[in-house]
Structure 1
């Protein structure tokens, strides 16, 4: 599993083993078996034992695991589980301590994907991104909203307004770039069966520089993948740009009344490359 290339990551509760294989067949780039929030405290030990048995039957580097936090009674149990060859990486919840991340990477020898979901984590973002073992950052907006006392999520029926998270999202994108990490993975979209809403939400994240998305149901895989596919309007625009580049030999040129220079040409080229990968 190439963690840097993952774009669609599907959560599966660790106490629902009947869903593991279905999730693997969902079309998502990877599944995250969740030992933390998805599993009640009374079921965590049993879920860990069942998961350990299942992992023994899986190929190497085939799944990601979200463990319980460092201060929980299940942390050591979870880290032992993550030594399985089937575990490609560890999702670290409520990560805000770079030293703890370094120790976890040392203990497990696995890539770490820390969840940034608190004010402390944002304040320490550079240290977290630079910690040994950290491979990619994940955005946890619901816990961040709770930590900051934000009026989010809105009551059912009201439109989601993501502007309050713009600063935090941009920080993850910028920090990932500075520290040479792959683009970060955006937070979940909570409406399970709102395909259009999820596609629009994912495209908004892509505009900010995210390149992956956390999913909570197999029904969300296709809409997320649609968001990752260049639209017909984007492809048409890119072709106009590349036609102009060929005519002008790469010089700065105006296309449809807009200046086009080297970065814009590079963006157009990337869109056509993505479209070629999708439709070939």
Structure 2
């Protein structure tokens, strides 16, 4: 199916996506209390095989609770013998509980058909994580899959499989190549702009600040977080400054008043791409 014939789900508005292991379900409320835009309840990497069943029970109990807030759920990968059980669990939820599932995070995606299978089973928005060399090679096809909402990636997983040292210049070359591919194919397929991978050192504010500034300037829409300490920095830095918003509003207002597609504003030439970018900023941050 061509990209022009695929109806894409509504875009995502979250900036910070905080993982909470399903075995520690009591942390979901704490995650929201720390300011996370949204929470991903994790049934995959953060949950060992010995506690998979208890973790699934925890998910059901949380989603069925009167005080439940809508969350994402990361299920196990297609290559895992646990994915079918995760899907069956979500399919079996009563309507009030399944309505508390915003969407599904799919790990280690390597083929578009993996997205298609989950789409048919659950009919929920999906975030695909690219975490293997094969997944990297198939980004164009994966990004075009029907039902996909956004792409992200697992940098450490990819480095391990490629034999690349993550904390090296070579590692950064690999990371930026992935980011470019995700950004390009997200735009081509009208997806929500990509979501940055996790930053493991959760007490390194300076490093996190540098990371957020990097993906924000690249046009990414948000970041996966592994610790509540990271949320405030991600939320604050991902938002445009007041000066940027004020300039965008002046551009939008001037364009609305005059209809001109090219004009000078505050010593800067403004044309159609700048106007469109200003409109997007105002729509997202000053609706």
Change (3 A) 1:270 1:40: same
Change (3 A) 1:206 1:48: same
Matched, 1:138 2:146: no
Which residue of 14, 33, 36 corresponds with 1:28? 36
Change (3 A) 1:272 1:133: closer
How does the TM-score come out when normalised to structure 2? 0.81
Contact 2:130 2:153 in 1 (8 A): yes
Instruction: For residues 170-224 of structure 1, give each alpha carbon's deviation from its aligned partner in whole angstroms, at most 9, with x where no partner exists.
Output: 1101101111111111101112122332232112101112011101111111100
| Bigger mean CA offset, 175-184 vs 231-240 | 231-240
* Alignment partner, residue 9 of structure 1: 17
* Alignment partner, residue 75 of structure 1: 83
Q: Distance in 2 between matches of 1:22 and 1:163?
A: 36
How does the TM-score come out when normalised to structure 1? 0.83
Unaligned runs of 5+ in 1: none
Change (3 A) 1:223 1:254: closer
User: How far is 1:124 from its partner?
Assistant: 1.3
Which residue of 114, 117, 123 corresponds with 2:128? 114
* Alignment partner, residue 125 of structure 1: 139
SS in 1 for 2:115: helix
* Alignment partner, residue 63 of structure 2: 55
Which residue of 174, 185, 202 corresponds with 1:192? 202
Which residue of 160, 169, 186 corresponds with 2:179? 169
Instruction: For residues 141-168 of structure 1, give each alpha carbon's deviation from its aligned partner in whole angstroms, at most 9, with x where no partner exists.
Output: 11111122111136xxxx9973431111
1:204-215 paired onto structure 2 within 5 Å: 204-215=214-225
Aligned residues: CA RMSD: 3.1
Aligned length: 272
Q: Distance in 1 between matches of 2:252 and 2:106?
A: 42
Q: Distance in 2 between matches of 1:19 and 1:118?
A: 29
SS in 1 for 2:34: coil
Q: Distance in 2 between matches of 1:10 and 1:220?
A: 9
Larger relative contact order, structure 1 or 2 (CA cutoff 8 Å, min sep 6): 2
Q: Distance in 2 between matches of 1:242 and 1:180?
A: 23
* Alignment partner, residue 5 of structure 2: none
* Alignment partner, residue 101 of structure 2: 87
